[in-house]
Structure 1
């Protein structure tokens, strides 16, 4: 029997010292410290790549969007004042990079109708994340969520952003983020139950 193994329904949090260090590196990088730039990029590179992948980037564009995110961030450091955490600030930039990429692609002819999002997510997601039981990949189920719920779930439940910061990164009220996460969790638990019974996946509306 497959037991639905989703993260607990609570706001995950990273240690204050870690977040303070990352923000301090961003502020030091703003002042021209090359070591701080390196530390800042290394600390958040993996999370940014996971985030853009969960927002729909394919394997090739995920790397490009991650690089674009950091290029935008480093070019905008003079405007970063530390009012929010550097992680929240960077995820907001990543989100805009993905949106710009989608807009750009929508104006160009599609070369292929193949959507390999699930494969990309599974290859970039650590296999010890909740949901990898008896061959069921959480990434595949998360990929079936509507875009807004997927983003809220990924930011809070997989990347560990507090709800308030996820709301800031997503440019929406905190109550909206809570609602989206709750609805995403409900759908995922239902889908895990359906997978156990061998029922077809019912995509959330």
Structure 2
């Protein structure tokens, strides 16, 4: 049963509610655990996917993130938002996964990858093709710029919190996002120009 302190007040922000659920979950409230996971599952899934996780392993990494987080809740004291804390755990899970994968051969099946990519698309994107295009564009960015862009523009973290997750100064995050935006705009402009050029041919 959720305690009265967990009932979101009108003036409570979403971040405050999520952090309150995490603190209550730390105390053993099963309803709070459920609310905490539901509130952040999509952000974690999106984050690990766009960090470059293998589409086949994104679900596993999301689950691993929450398993690590729930096992570490006793150490969470609310000094930062629960979202920032959780995404830091997700980042470490991705790094650990990439290190493990680098030690063994990687197999790729195009048909399976396409199916997994379709399932991985965020729900609020205009359509499958747009989602795949965004994924492909982000994959071409340097890893640090991609991470900064995903945290601030897709997950919606403030720059200061994105800096905490990435373990770098706020100014560095701003610079990475600005460079990522410039690159993406350039590529999109070139793609639109190519589309118009070939679209006009008969």
Q: In which range does the TM-score fall when normalised by the shorter chain?
A: 0.7 to 0.9
| Structure 1: segments with no counterpart, 5+ residues | 1-14, 200-205
Q: Does 1:70 align with 2:30?
A: no
Deviation at 1:118, TM superposition (A): 8.2
Of structures 1 and 2, the one with the larger relative CO (CA 8 A, separation 6+) is 1
How far off is 1:121 after superposition?
Answer: 5.1
Query: Is the alpha carbon distance of 1:197 and 1:122 closer, same or farther for their aligned partners in structure 2, counting shifts above 3 Å?
Result: farther
Contact 2:23–2:77, Cα closer than 8 Å, also in 1: yes
Unaligned runs of 5+ in 2: 1-10, 196-202
d(CA) in 2 for partners of 1:195, 1:88? 35
> What is the rounded CA distance, in whole Å, between the counterparts of 2:186 and 2:127 in structure 1?
13
Q: What residue in structure 2 maps to residue 137 of structure 1?
A: 133
Cα RMSD of the aligned pairs, angstroms, is 2.6
Compute the displacement of 1:17 (Å).
1.0
Q: Which residue of 2 aligns with 1:166?
A: 162
CA–CA distance in structure 2, aligned partners of residues 134 and 108 of structure 1: 33
Per the TM alignment, residue 133 of structure 1 is displaced from its structure 2 partner at its CA by 8.7
Q: CA deviation at 1:58?
A: 2.4
Where do 1:89-168 residues align within 5 Å? 89-112=85-108, 120=116, 123-126=119-122, 128-129=124-125, 137-168=133-164
1:107 Cα deviation after fit: 1.2
Question: 2-side partners of 1:31 and 1:143: how far apart?
Answer: 40
Aligned length: 184
Q: Which runs of structure 1 show a deviation greater than 4 angstroms over 4 or more consecutive aligned residues?
A: 116-122, 130-136
Question: Counterpart of 2:23 in 1: which secondary structure?
Answer: helix
Larger radius of gyration: 2
Q: Mapping of 1:17-28 within 5 angstroms?
A: 17-28=13-24
Conserved 8 A contact 1:167-1:174: yes
d(CA) in 1 for partners of 2:47, 2:38: 15
Structure 1: how far apart are the matches of 2:132 and 2:109?
25
Q: Aligned equivalents of 1:170 and 1:140: distance in 2? A: 22
Partner Cα separation in structure 1 for residue 124 and residue 35 of structure 2: 25
CA contact (8 A) 1:149 1:183 kept: yes
Aligned partners of 1:127, 1:73: CA distance in 2, in Å?
25
Residues 1:16 and 1:177: Cα distance change in structure 2 (over 3 Å): farther
